[in-house]
Amino acid sequence: MTDEKARSRHAELVSEVRAHDYRYYVLDDPAIGDRDYDALYHELRELEAAHPELATADSPTRRVGSTPRGALKNVRHVIPMMSLDNTYSEEMLRDFARRVETGLPTGKTARFCVEPKLDGASIEILYRDGRFVEGSTRGDGEHGEDITENLRTIRSLPLTIPYKEPLTLRAEVVIYRRDLAKINQGRVAAGEAPFANPRNAASGSLRMIDPRVVAERPLRAIVWQVVEGAKLADSHSDALDKLSELGLPTHKKHVRASSIDEVLKIIEDLELSRKDYPYETDGAVIKVDDFGQQAILGATAKFPRWAIAYKFSAERAETHVQAIEIGVGRTGTLTPVAVLDPVQLAGTVVSRASLHNEQIVGQLDLRIGDRVTIEKAGEIIPQVVAVHHEARSSDLPPFRMPEKCPSCGTPVVRVEGEVAVKCPNRRCPDQVQGALFHFSRRFAMDIDHLGESLIESLVNQELVRDVADLYELTHERVVALERMGKKSAENLITSIQNSKQRTFDRLITGLGIEHVGQVAARQLAEALHSLDDLLALTPEELEERVTSISGFGPKMAQSLREFHADPTARELLERLQKLGVSRPQPRPEVAAEGPLTGQSFCVTGVLSRKREDVHAAIRAAGGTVHDKVKIGTTYLVAGDKVGAAKLSAAKKAGTRVIDEATLERLIAGETLEPEA
């Protein structure tokens, strides 16, 4: 083939492959079969092998890198990726519309654009001079991780577009439900754990080091926002239409509305049709459509004032209870778990649901064989919300908690005044596994490479009986475990040894002392300073010290005293001391008078940043932080997916519930209007 013919055929093949990629990955409407597509792709690859000068960076064959990269580097977003304020109620949507009207010049009204809230992994993508040049994860909103090479593997995302102006976009990376089912079939066949839902699969895939592995995942990108590209259109809805014309993938589900009543009707339609979409959605996003009005309305420190997310109510499903199993937690509490006929719910296959305790089972009058309704609390935890007694056969026996621990066979105990049934054996294998997992978590000792399956192996092989045993593990013992390579063993041992440098509060948190959470652990560590100081105290002296700490009630003080006086616990602390685990707690920096002085906060739910960072911001502004809502707690800062228990506690304590945006306003010095 002559050079001229090669160039001509190359151009034809590139155009044809791109067209088929668009039809398959964007329109979801393939025009040819896989075999015919593979033949075109193979011909293109062979042609570029014979004529390397034709293989440009944006060729369809260049979507996958040839070698893994090093660690992902951080990049600054062109414009910060802000979170959206969210609501579950019609009244709050109407409040949003009123705030928009108030924020616009007199006589101006807003039109809205309503669209599905995609449940995937958010990214920023940059096009310069018509070429895709960079992509990054959301990260902390200001910075994200550079995942450009991974995004190049996503065939729904064009590498070139017919638009030369700078264009910065926000998009969601998703996996279609049907594609996730195929992935999980392969993972199960290979002995790997299936992905819990499409969002987790997409998010985990994006941060993989090797783009060749990413290319094997059926990721798709869906663009939902223009953040830089003023010449493209004057409104959000027109911009989405224009992006689609340029060949970029959009959801094409956006609907314009001229009033809040129209918005509510569109949301209702979206919720009814969400099951028909190939991807997961968990709500609707409502935006002021006009870009000029968006600029006038501006943003708070965390949220744009021109947009809000409406979260759909939890999905429910009916199924049968096959069995009731008993789980043993790290504190020894026995928890009944319903084993269910598998059922699809909120994007995942649910086969188990927590029943919390014996009292809840009794209130539900739940029995093995019953037909039940389940829902995901806060879209996370499956729970039984109703039992269909009318469908029950007459011979189903009532449920009874076991008299012996199912993990170790020790007789269980019932704590006076509590509904909990507990195993008192601290060496119970299930308790040890739970304690090790808690100890290794990021908010505690932050030990990488120590997952649940490895913990189970370490306990079953009797290599680890408590958290101190971790620090006496050797490379030889670990590498002898099944499926454990030399490098993995080295990484684990290194991570365990590095954790010795965590501060004293992280160690207290990791020990999982009952009633002592992260906030209380920090207060205790600041009061005692080090593990040496803790061990130097008698139980009576410790109780006296902690009662002077703000927020430490009788239950917390008693729990600490009992832990400190327990011979097994004291032996554990002394071993950790000899092993050099944890460093002294830095002396706390006393905040000057600030806008939150005299106010106390409890923080719960999913927030736009790490909870520790929110706590630090509150303290820096002069406020105090409580582990739990109690009498005297001024505010409960409620993020996304908040449990009903915290909200109920706030109501009983007279604590005002605010969102993260309102907290930012308080930190900025604003004064809230009294509640009606």
Any idea which residues carry the catalytic annotation?
117
Q: For residue 37, give Cα distances in angstroms to 19, 21, 182, 209, 381.
A: 11, 9, 20, 28, 42
Residue 406: CB partners within 8 Å, gap ≥ 6?
325, 326, 328, 334
| 135 half-sphere exposure, CB direction, 13 A CA radius | 25
Q: How far apart are CA 244 and CA 333, in angstroms?
A: 54
Q: Shortest CA distance to 50 belongs to which of 42, 39, 38?
A: 42
H/E stretch holding 268 reads: helix 260-273
The residues that bridge with 290 in the sheet, in sequence order, are 235
| 660 half-sphere exposure, CB direction, 13 A CA radius | 27
Q: Which residues of 61-70 are buried (b: 16+ CB within 10 A; e: fewer)?
A: bebbbeeebe
Q: For residue 460, give Cα distances in angstroms to 245, 407, 477, 512.
A: 59, 12, 13, 22
Nearest 5°: CA angle at 293, between 288 and 299? 80
Residue 610: CB partners within 8 Å, gap ≥ 6?
none
Q: Which residues of 223-247 are buried (b: 16+ CB within 10 A; e: fewer)?
A: bbbbeebeebbebbbbbbebbeebb
Q: Shortest CA distance to 373 belongs to which of 393, 391, 347?
A: 391
Q: Tokens 């093995």 correspond to what residue?
A: 368
CB 45 within 8 A of CB 59: no
Amino acid at 56: T
Question: What is the token pair recorded at 433?
Answer: 């596994």
Q: How far apart are CA 636 and CA 633, in angstroms?
A: 8
